[in-house]
Amino acid sequence: MSLKPGHKLAHYEIVEPIGKGGMGEVYRARDGKLGRDVAIKVLPPELATDPERIARFEREAKALAALNHPGIASIHGLEESGGTHYLVLELVPGETLAERIHRGPLPENEAFQAAAQIADALVEAHERGIVHRDLKPANIKLTPDDKVVVLDFGLAKALVDERSDHADSMSPTFTRDQTRAGVIMGTAAYMSPEQARGREVDKRADIWAFGVVLFEMLTGRQPFGGEDVTEILASVVKDQPALDEAPRRARRLLSRCLEKDPKKRLRDVGDALDLVDEERPEPSVEPATASRLPWAIAALATLAAIASATLWLSSAGSPDETSETTRLHLAWPEPESPDAVVSRVKYMELSPDGRSVALVTAGQLWVRPLDAVHARALERTEGATYPFWSPDGAWIGFFAGNELKKVSPATGLVQTLCNAPGSRGASWSRDGVIIFAPTGGRRGLFRIPEDGGTAESLTPDLADDVVYRYPHFLPEGQDFLYANFVRDPKRAGIYVGSLDGTTPDRVLPTAARASFAPPVRMGNAGHVVFQEQDVLMAQPFDARRLETTGTMFPVAEGLGRVGNTGYGAFSVSDDGTLVHWSGSAGSRASELVWRSRAGARLSVASPAAMVDAFAISPDDRRVAIAKRGAVDGARDVWLQDSSGGIPSRFTFSSQTIGWTYPVWSPDGRDVGFITDYQPGATAYEIRRKRADMSDEERVVVSTASLVFLSDWSSANDQLLYSSGGSLWTVPAEGGESKMVIQELFGQPYAKLSPDGRFLAFVSNEHGAAQVYVQPFPASGGLWQVSPDGGTMPMWRSDQKELYYRASDGALMAVAIGSVEGFEYGTPERLFEGLAASGGAGDRYTFQAASDGQRFLVAELMKDDSPISVVLNWQVGFEN
């Protein structure tokens, strides 16, 4: 039974749906007597029509209502109205732990704090003889004030038919009407072995589930998996979880919780709290290499006193008796004024001695000694990008205002060295030579003396399709690494060049910024370190012979990216110290979230990714998402269920830009998109392809001008696109394009009405961007729909509303008349907080479901990933 907003159950008025699962449908409702919002859980039909089970459920609900704990969601009552049985529950704000884990594992301290609150709630319930039986991240809420609240205590038992052979074995997910594999798998993965075998359970089943949830918080994945319920349950019963994937301080606790024999398992969850406390790390460190030990100890001792710093030890490869890989976290510096946070781009570069790191965040250059508590902002460095150190650490070079500059961290003195518009990286040799890669009107690599002067080209005969970036001097100061972003993948890669003009050699086929880490021990090879997608890789490399020597290996996973530039989020010092981070500067990651008309968060459709553009299929069941690559910025289209799930790759980019602007055909069978930089073809093309990938891509339009694909008309099977500053239509099967608007003003947002009679578009011809509607084809009429600024117009599928984003970020809805001509009402504010732009700045940040009751919104993720510092990462890999 689905309830509509406005429906009343006794004195409760339904506001909106907020969830659905094995225990019934859940709604936000308004309590008319007490004037508060509550959650209404409508019970499944098979339970509501069984008097015996309703009576038992009422007994269980009364027992659960006795629970009074801040970490347990309260039950206000079990009610019946018009034949509908429902629970009245505390409405807990915030996201579920499942939604949080969907974005990645929690930081250790955050995970243990959440685990402590979960355990405390379980202690309260277990002391009253109540077992949860269905503990999982989806039943745990994280509130905005950092509290953890457990939902649905004991309801699993209450919903099971005691007359069934499996009365105590299964959660409500396994009742007859709940057979969707994804839902079943979500619960089966948290079952204890005794539950999986259908045996009676007690509080030790909750302790098992607590261990599973903790493991998932720390690692981002479930310890027991499989392709179906049978495989998952078999894994629960037979497989041993890979506890070495969890942080060391958690392994003893996890092993006690995930003991398959309940007799040997941790007997009381209160003991788990004690184990968490016992496992907290002490502010000490195992010996590192002798040259780094003193400052490392100082750094760790300082950081141990800071709440934002996290330290742990972990082995890499096969550590010897005197050294071990050591990791710690540093927080990015925060400017004193929130207004200073203008740019999201972040860079970091270690000093040659590995003792300090130069950081660019909030549009300014900072220096953070690793043994200090705070970073220090350097004056007159606003707009800094791509910092690099002098070999003696006395200067930091950077680019700002189309100039190459250097600043002394000690004195604050800033000097301009030369003009360098749009530059991408530089390096400073021990012989006083700086090489850099400008992009504004000049290409290739240039050199200047360290005191400034006239820049001299190192690559005067550069081919037209070649782009050089990110030089990095090797130790001798004559040869250097650099990235070649040529469009031909057979020529792109990491190269070694020389100041004497020797013909460059390709070292690796990946076009990305690379650094060289000298060997820790004499006689060993160093490593070329580079980022491929979100993985930091190391390739053994002999810097004297300029050749690779061994097997490539991964150093760290989950790395971020800096803009769209191929500049990896890492740095390596001359002594081998490594820093990296997992954020996404320049273009922050977004997650796709379903929201109601009132703005309530309903569910997460797609986890955090570099979302460039997205579109919902006509039947609302699927979503096409254009995502950017982790490092090189290449875009591909992926398809997935609109309710979530695993996406499938739809296009396969091998070029710098790739595919984007997906739109669905009216019947949902095809997806249209644009692509550019295709070798041997016109620069830009609109293509279409079967959504089931049963056919090859077909070209609809080829043009030498930049293309923006806007819509696929349901009325006349035409594609709407902009190119060359004008708006065009073209038959979806291909043919002659026809101009709709000769000169566009502003970003090319445009949509045809479902009946094909009207065109909504955006223009800033008269000042601020506004949403306009005109007849299609044009016949003289023009209506300004947005009175106070607007962009991103979108029609409801029945043409009864037009939506747009207001200039202040609100989603607006305009009622549309159904008579001849065009009649529209006053814009209504639905909810706030829409991002100003997506992707490259002209993509929609919302999509409307066909009935206009839900909206899929791209929400920028908070970019607070810390900096990881790693010592002795080469241990076990040197050769």
pLDDT band at 438 (very low <50, low <70, confident <90, very high): confident
Instruction: Looking at 290-435, list the stretches that DSSP marks H as alpha helix, in order from N- to C-terminal side.
Output: 293-304
Tell whether the model's pLDDT for residue 878 goes beyond 60.
no
**DSSP structural state of residue 317:** S
Contacts of residue 593, defined as CB under 8 A and 6 or more positions apart, other chains included, come to: 601, 602, 603, 604, 605, 856, 857, 859
C-alpha torsion sign, points 821, 826, 830, 835: positive
| Whole-angstrom distance, CA of residue 590 vs CA of residue 609 | 6
pLDDT at residue 215 in the model: 95
All residues at 6 or more sequence positions from 178 whose CB lies less than 8 Å from its CB, including other chains: 21, 22, 172, 184
Q: In the prediction, which pLDDT does 35 show? A: 83
Residue with tokens 């400017």: 335
Residue 801 gets the label, from left (phi > 0), alpha (psi -120 to 50) or beta, of beta
Contact criterion met (CB below 8 Å) for 343 and 332: no
Give the number of residues written for the chain: 879
Residue 337 has pLDDT above 80, yes or no: no
Each residue of 164-188: pLDDT tens digit? 433 333 333 333 233 322 333 347 8
pLDDT computed for residue 324 by the predictor: 66
pLDDT band at 320 (very low <50, low <70, confident <90, very high): very low
Mean predicted lDDT score pLDDT of the chain: 80
Q: Are 244 and 251 in contact (CB under 8 A)?
A: yes
The β-bridge relationship of strands 468-473 and 396-400 is: unpaired
**Catalytic site positions:** 134
Residues in a beta bridge with 198? none
Whole-number pLDDT of residue 725: 80
Q: What CA–CA distance (Å, rounded) separates 856 from 592?
A: 6
Q: Is the pLDDT of residue 205 over 60?
A: yes
Which comes out higher in pLDDT, residue 363 or 105? 105
Taking the C-alpha atoms of residue 17 and residue 461, their distance in angstroms, rounded to an integer, is 64
Predicted local distance difference test score (pLDDT) of residue 805: 95
What local confidence, expressed as pLDDT, does residue 735 receive?
A: 92
Residue 30 pLDDT > 50, yes or no?
A: yes
- Report, as an integer, the average pLDDT of 112-130: 88
For the segment 840-858, the average pLDDT, to the nearest whole number, is: 87
Q: C-alpha angle 834/837/843, rounded to 5°? A: 115
Report how far residue 748's alpha carbon sits from residue 293's, in angstroms, rounded to the nearest whole number. Answer: 58
CB 720 within 8 A of CB 727: yes
pLDDT of amino acid 305? 34
> What is the phi/psi pair of residue 163, to 5°?
-80, -5
Q: How far apart are CA 617 and CA 849, in angstroms?
A: 9
| Per-residue pLDDT at 346 | 77
Task: Dump pLDDT digits (tens) for 817-828.
Answer: 865 678 899 999
Peptide bond into 777 cis (omega under 30): yes
Please count the helices (runs of H) and the strands (runs of E) in the chain.
12, 62
Q: What is the DSSP string of 456-489?
A: EES-TT--TT--EEEEEE-TTSSEEEEEE--SST
Report residue 810's pLDDT band, with 50, 70 and 90 as the boundaries. Answer: very high
Contacts with 694 (C-beta within 8 Å, 6 or more apart), sequence order: none
Helix 203-219 with 108-127: angle, nearest 10 deg? 170
Residue 837's CB is within 10 A of a number of other CB atoms, namely: 16
Q: Nearest Cα to 387, choosing from 368, 407, 371, 372?
A: 407
48 has pLDDT over 80: no
Give the residue with greater pLDDT, 324 vs 264: 264
Q: What is the mean pLDDT of residues 754-769?
A: 87
Of these ranges, 280-284, 529-533, 664-668, the one predicted with the greatest mean pLDDT is: 664-668
What sign does the CA torsion over 509, 512, 513, 514 have? Answer: negative
Average pLDDT over residues 477-489: 87
pLDDT, residue 679, reads: 47
**pLDDT at 819 (0 to 100):** 58
Chain-centre distance for alpha carbon 473: 33
Number of C-beta neighbours around residue 377 at 10 A: 18
Average pLDDT rounded to a whole number, residues 742-747: 76
194 has a pLDDT exceeding 90: no
Q: Which domains does the chain possess?
A: 8-278 (1.10.510.10), 341-586 (2.130.10.10), 590-788+834-860 (2.120.10.30)
| pLDDT at residue number 583 | 58
What distance in Å separates the CA atoms of residue 580 and residue 558, rounded to the nearest whole number? 10
> Which alpha helices (DSSP H) does 490-551 contain, by range?
none
pLDDT of residue 863: 59
Residues 6 or more apart whose CB falls under 8 angstroms from that of 62 comprise none
pLDDT average, residue stretch 705-720: 88
> In angstroms, rounded to a whole number, what is the distance separating the alpha carbons of residues 268 and 852?
49
What average pLDDT does range 401-413 have in this prediction?
91
Q: Is the peptide bond before 509 cis (omega within 30 degrees of 0)?
A: no
What does the block give as tokens for 3? Answer: 């309830």
* Adjacent-strand bridge partners of 405: 398, 416
Residue 561, pLDDT score: 63
pLDDT band with cut points at 50, 70 and 90 for residue 300: very low
Pair 441, 402: CB distance under 8 Å: no
Taking the C-alpha atoms of residue 728 and residue 714, their distance in angstroms, rounded to an integer, is 16
DSSP 8-state secondary structure symbol assigned to residue 43 = P
pLDDT over 90, % of the chain: 38
Q: How far apart are CA 153 and CA 176, in angstroms?
A: 21
Residue type, 207: I
Question: Per-residue pLDDT tens for 368-399?
Answer: 998 877 889 999 998 888 999 999 999 999 99
Please state, in angstroms and rounded to a whole number, the distance separating the CA atoms of residues 90 and 40: 9
Over residues 753-777, the mean pLDDT reads: 89
Measured N-to-C along each axis, helices 248-257 and 269-278 cross at an angle, to the nearest 10 degrees, of 160
- φ and ψ at residue 151, rounded to 5 degrees: -105, 165
Burial grade of 600 (CB within 10 A; 0-12, 13-18, 19 or more):
middle
Inter-residue contact 359 to 375 (CB < 8 Å): yes
Give dist(CA 861, CA 588) in Å, integer: 7
Q: Which of 127-131, 134-138, 586-590, 864-868 has the highest mean pLDDT?
A: 134-138
Residue 280 has pLDDT above 80, yes or no: no
Interatomic CA distance for residues 296 and 289, integer angstroms? 10
> Are the CB atoms for 398 and 406 separated by under 8 Å?
yes
SS3 835: coil
The HSE-up count of residue 638 (CA atoms within 13 Å, CB side) is: 22
Find where tokens 């040799």 sit: 429
Two tokens, residue 80:
């019946």
User: Mean pLDDT across the stretch 422-436?
Assistant: 92
Give the per-residue pLDDT at 841: 46
Tell me how crowded residue 52 is: count the other CB atoms within 10 A of its CB. Answer: 10
Residue 874 exposure: Cα atoms within 13 Å on the Cβ side: 27
Compute the Cα dihedral for 408, 413, 419, 422 and give only its sign: positive
The residues facing 814 across adjacent strands are 802
Token digits of residue 583: 């954020």
Q: What are phi and psi of 89, to 5 degrees?
A: -120, 160
Q: Which of 43-47, 150-154, 562-566 has the lowest mean pLDDT?
A: 562-566
* Nearby residues of 667 by Cβ (< 8 Å), 6 or more positions away: 618
Residue-level pLDDT at 714: 87
Amino acid at 711: D
Task: Please give the average per-residue pLDDT across 443-456, as a whole number.
Answer: 90
| pTM of the entire predicted model | 0.46
